[in-house]
A and B are shown apart, each in its own frame.
Chain A
């Protein structure tokens, strides 16, 4: 799309909002944005796992991103929260968020390292921060995020 503006260094992100904070996910990792319904609760699973559901014939594991980031979601119920589906290791995952934002194109050269005093959990799963005009955009690393959860399960 408007990658020309930044030459090769332009990168597109889908922005999401969770507990007021703006986050970005690389657009090439986002499969789908959908409104999940008909969750199946999985007993004994980690609290971050909101449940499993059927997304067009595939079974998706829904991750409550607010529990991962340890923030209070604005919308507490599972229903009526949009989700972003991503694929990791051939498996489908859905990240539950508060509000889905827009697609932005940013110059990857302007991505700044996370401030050193950032929450350790957050720092682990984010690759850096953009200074937008009126707020900060934290870019999340989907792979690390899911890997962390997988490891947590294994532990």
Chain B
């Protein structure tokens, strides 16, 4: 591209951005002459340069806009329509510039309509004069070209009057013009003001001073190509690396004699490098205001479009941050401000009703904090509607009702960062397509930032973004795992903990999940070597590792924190982040690589990647171990548990299989009969039993309860809150001293009290257990063989619910192996059709084994036929039941009880 044209484009684009902002300001302060002068000057420069470069279409547009502004400057009343039209023409100019950049030619097209509108507004000519407009303009254009070249010594345009206005001032001339002028004119002319326009002498002199200031400023800054700075930055990066290498060498030589000789210069080199690094970094710094430049215009347009008056306040515009970061946050910021305007701020009438001022305010602020910049976008709008959000969450299937109930408001609000979530009821041109905040979050996390949201219903929403100042050089912690070194960005590391299996900080296990008690929270722990799939090497060191103390790097990503076990922690170092090769981009665990002081390359761990893979890593481990230790885990099968709260916020659990239904009654519907409470339930009276002590119960609103039913008897057990249903292993670890509870188990990483249903049932019907207790003095051990996981999942809870201690296996061989190993059972329930060994064979084997010869065997089969039944009878099976016949199964089991009892008695 032509150098001149290139320069023109950059310059003009910058000017246009300023014009956008300034015009919006001007609209609000129509009496501020300074703003108008500024805008006028910029538009004028554009016009002048266009003429110089031979861009007639642009020139005419700029000229028309300038004319209208000229009338405002001369005191005409500023109208909304006028500003809108000027903004429209600015947009048009932008479009043309864009095309110009691509093709290096002005695109075809006519802008007469717009130009005419501008000129009509300017009162330059009446509608009927339109026809002459073009000619007139053309003439002016010619004039202009001349003027630009011979301007300094011939300031005749000041007397040109009329539509030409009084645009040119000496200080405003572009460099090219100046150069031309220098060739033609004596130097001193420049500093001499042209003849002042007679009408407004004061204003002109003000312009003069402003222009002079501008010129002085211009002399102190130079325009440097971005690429040059990038290269400089790279060189400095290399220098930092070399310095680190030297430091490494000197560290190694510590204690030797030659140390002293190098130490001083090395120290100096180190300091100078650090300063140089800082200096170059500064050249990359730009005030955040340049990312905000477009926002006033956007807000203004939105405010017009949506019919809501909105004020945009910007605080801390001058806060500087790295160019690269700036580019990356530009779009997310714009998006968030749009969001605030569209969703946050209410319509004026609504605002008024709520007792707020009609005009909404969006406050954008930025400031430095440590190595970060904090940007907040606050609006005084309606805030997030937690209730609506919850409903959306449930309807979109992002969370279950019970999950939502257990969430705090802040947790629910966080969901607006969830992919595919939008709160807007309607999709507007502005937002509501559900691709919003999650994209914002992703973009911000991509550059190592974090985003947080605070909202109070009715009084507004504040989004806070925290981002690092620069991306190129970051402090990182160097660690080692499985013999490889890695770097973790210091930003993500909140602390280091040394753990010792014998000491105070030790890693505990919940099933396969390792956790660490850290002050008052439970920190999930992962081994870096597991995450990176480096077990082979790990195993070798395993013994050393486990006996010795290890390091846990406590990592924080967003609100999530977790511990990463590493073998060794070295020092912190300023590392230069180098992008990873495209071939490694898909390894999400790493965000880049760097060259270390010793010249070796190490990978930089991506905290986000680690965080994301933690869940899945655990699943894998669990799966692996399941296949390895299938038989061992058999008697600890996972069951569904209902988690609830009663009396305190400590979780309590009951096996879901015992609960018939969950119901909710309003407190007012409770009827009393003596000391007993009951409700009408399905045309019958259902006695209520409270888990809570008297006095500790709620006395209004909805009461959630678990309904237990057996035969004719129904009972409601009232709790405070139903929390969740989870799949977990029920393993009582501590006996309970509380009445009504069996003991405590760890469920979902929390100590949970397990309800003893048997304690509460007699409270409703004193005779509930009488018959049963006679027949069932202790839980029967039951072996259940079934190859289909579906049926296992379906039947096991039924069996547990019936009070059996169930061991489920996948086929006959497994079942028989257990028996041969010496496992004892009271009853065997088996599927008939199974791989490896079917139910019939199992029955035969069991009857041939002396230990198990007397165990009653109940067959469960999907295919109930006479032939099979006959065969079952012949083998001495206790009963033969269809798979879906739960009642039949329970009946058959009851009948076996009698047989066993008889045997025990005998």
Contact = CB atoms under 8 A, between A and B. Distances in A.
A69 B532 CA distance: 26
Q: For chain B, what secondary structure do more than half of its interface residues adopt (helix, strand, loop), or is it mixed?
A: mixed
A139 B823 CA distance: 67
B582 A57 contact: no
A44 B582 contact: no
B186 interface: no
Nearest to A92: B581
B534 to A, nearest CB: 5
Interface in B229-286: 238, 241
A40 B583 contact: no
A114 B533 CA distance: 39
Given A43-B534, A44-B589, A38 B584 contact: no
Contacts of B491: none
B601 A53 contact: yes
A31 B863 CA distance: 72
Given A43-B534, A59-B595, A89 B600 contact: no
A42 B602 CA distance: 9
A154 interface: yes
B313 interface: no
A46 B582 CA distance: 12
Interface in B4-58: none
B599 A54 contact: yes
A47 to B, nearest CB: 12
A40 B484 contact: yes
B581 A57 contact: no
A52 B581 contact: yes
Contacts of A63: 583
A45 B588 CA distance: 10
A150 interface: yes
A59 B601 contact: yes
A150 B582 contact: yes
A149 interface: yes
A91 interface: yes
Interface string A64-96: 000000000000000000000000010101000
B582 A49 contact: no
Given A44-B533, A57-B595, A150 B583 contact: yes
A120 B181 CA distance: 70
A93 B582 CA distance: 10
Contacts of A44: 532-533, 587, 589
Contact of A52 (B533, B582, B589, B601): B601
B484 A61 contact: no
Interface string A134-155: 0000000000001001100110
B572 to A, nearest CB: 20
Contact of B584 (A54, A57, A89, A153): A153
Contacts of B585: 153-154
Contacts of A43: 484, 532-534, 587, 589, 603
A59 B238 contact: no
Interface in B558-587: 578, 581-587
Contacts of A34: none
A153 B581 CA distance: 11
Contact of B581 (A38, A54, A59): A59
Contact of B582 (A38, A45, A54, A91): A91
A130 B622 CA distance: 54
Interface string B596-608: 0001111100000
Contact of A45 (B484, B587, B595, B601): B587
Contacts of B590: 42
Contacts of A46: 583
Interface string B775-791: 00000000000000000
Nearest to A150: B582
A52 B238 contact: no
B533 A59 contact: no
Nearest to B588: A44
A6 interface: no
B591 interface: no
A57 B532 contact: no
B177 to A, nearest CB: 40
A15 B310 CA distance: 70
Contact of A91 (B533, B581, B599): B581
A151 B305 CA distance: 45
B593 interface: yes
A62 B433 CA distance: 44
A145 B622 CA distance: 38
B532 A59 contact: no
Interface core residue of A49, A52, A89 (most chain B CB under 10 Å): A52
B599 A40 contact: no
A49 B484 CA distance: 16
Contact of A40 (B533, B534, B581, B603): B603
Given A43-B484, A59-B601, A153 B583 contact: yes
Nearest to B237: A57
A41 B484 contact: yes
B582 A89 contact: yes
A43 B601 CA distance: 13
Contacts of A154: 585-586
Nearest to B613: A44
Contacts of A93: 581, 583
Contacts of B532: 43-44
Interface string B637-670: 0000000000000000000000000000000000
A54 B533 contact: no
Interface of B: 238, 241, 484, 532-534, 578, 581-587, 589-590, 593, 595, 599-603
A-B CB proximity, top 6 nearest: A43-B532, A61-B581, A40-B601, A153-B586, A52-B601, A44-B587
10 contacts: A41-B484, A43-B603, A44-B589, A52-B581, A52-B601, A57-B238, A59-B578, A59-B581, A61-B584, A91-B582
Given A40-B600, A43-B587, 20 more contacts: A38-B601, A40-B603, A41-B484, A45-B583, A45-B584, A45-B587, A49-B584, A52-B581, A52-B584, A53-B601, A54-B600, A57-B238, A57-B241, A59-B595, A61-B581, A61-B584, A89-B582, A149-B583, A153-B582, A153-B585
